Amino acid sequence: MPVSKGHDKTLFRLPGGTAAPTRLAVCEAGIDALSMAAIDRLRADTLYVATTGGMGPPTVACLDVLLRELAVRPGAVLVAATDADAQGCKYAARLEEQAAKAGVPSQRLLLPGGHNDWNDVLVVRRVSRHATRTIPHSSPSRSAEPGGTPRAHPPTQQPPPVPQEPDGRRHAMHPRTPDHRTIKHAHMFAGLGGGARGFNQAIARVGTLEADFRCLGGIDVDPQAIRDVARLAGVPGTYLDLFDQAQYRDFHGHELPPGWWEAVPNDVHRAFGGEHPHILFLSAPCKGFSGLLSGTKSKLAKCQGNRGKTPGQLAFQAG
């Protein structure tokens, strides 16, 4: 889960299990922390964290707090699980220096196989495991028919691919379990719909309960990007500015243009086809939160534009 103070982005955190971990694994991106946890099979002694793109003062302060807690535990260690590039080496050196100041031993965890980050490692491992399961014998058997003619085994029969709709969802004619559900999802800051398509391609299973995913719609302020939502997610995208009036003026530095209106909950409700989503996925631009901004720029009105009404409040009011 993310940890933040005010409007400062600090650390993404994923506890492995225990309330008092002795191993602190620090990655750069949240997806890499999740991938490393999957590779580790979620080690109970580990807290997986990610700096989410920066090492600004709030991030450093949050790491200091974790390192002070870690320093009093026997066997404590900080693992710098950064990317295998120049920036990753720089991050690792900063983490090792910070750990040394707190009295915590540290180590750099090098990525195997020349990969750049932990998500690359996880993807390649899963692809390799799938290929090992499904590829039939690549060469014929040298056993022979009577008379010495070589005989090849018939190819391994593979299950037919699951039919899919254009939006990536499983075809309606595919057999479903008796305990089947459909989970409805909707997207704000939808962009071109990549996240929505990813949801559509997923299948959730818990015991005998199975669910697929259906997209209700997506909202974005980029009219070119939102046109692709229909192609990728199978539902119309909605062009809608989620700023309120003060936020618009602060961000753009000028008055409202003719025809602009402030979004209200009913606009969001209509964008989702009048239905209520089980999952609301938000992937907001985060430059205003980033520790990579200078202190001066971060205080500009356009970077403090999340004052007042938030998209989340709009969505909850719409529901």
**Number of Cα atoms under 13 Å in the Cβ half of residue 23:** 19
Q: Averaged in consecutive runs of 10 residues, what is the pLDDT profile of the chain (319 residues)?
A: 46 82 92 88 92 82 94 95 90 95 94 85 69 38 40 43 52 53 92 89 84 93 85 90 86 88 90 92 69 69 59 53
pLDDT of residue 173: 38
Between CA 293 and CA 55 the distance in angstroms is 11
3-state helix vs strand vs coil in the chain, percent to 5:
35, 20, 45
Q: Using CB atoms within 10 Å of the CB of residue 51, give its burial: 0 to 12 exposed, 13 to 18 middle, 19+ buried.
A: buried
What's the Cα-to-Cα distance from 171 to each of 11, 110, 163, 234, rounded to whole Å? 39, 42, 5, 13
Q: What is the predicted pLDDT for the residue at 93?
A: 94
pLDDT of residue 178: 58
**What backbone phi and psi angles, to 5 degrees, belong to 297?**
-65, -35
Q: What is the pTM of this model?
A: 0.46
pLDDT given for residue 166 in this prediction: 54
In whole angstroms, what is the distance from residue 95 CA to residue 107 CA? 10
Model pLDDT, residue 167: 55
Q: Looking at residue 62, what is its pLDDT?
A: 92
pLDDT at 6: 39
Q: What's the pLDDT at 113?
A: 78
Q: How many CB atoms lie within 10 A of CB 266?
A: 12
| pLDDT for res 55 | 80
Report the CATH number of the 2-114 domain: 3.40.50.140
* Residue spans per domain, the chain: 2-114, 180-318
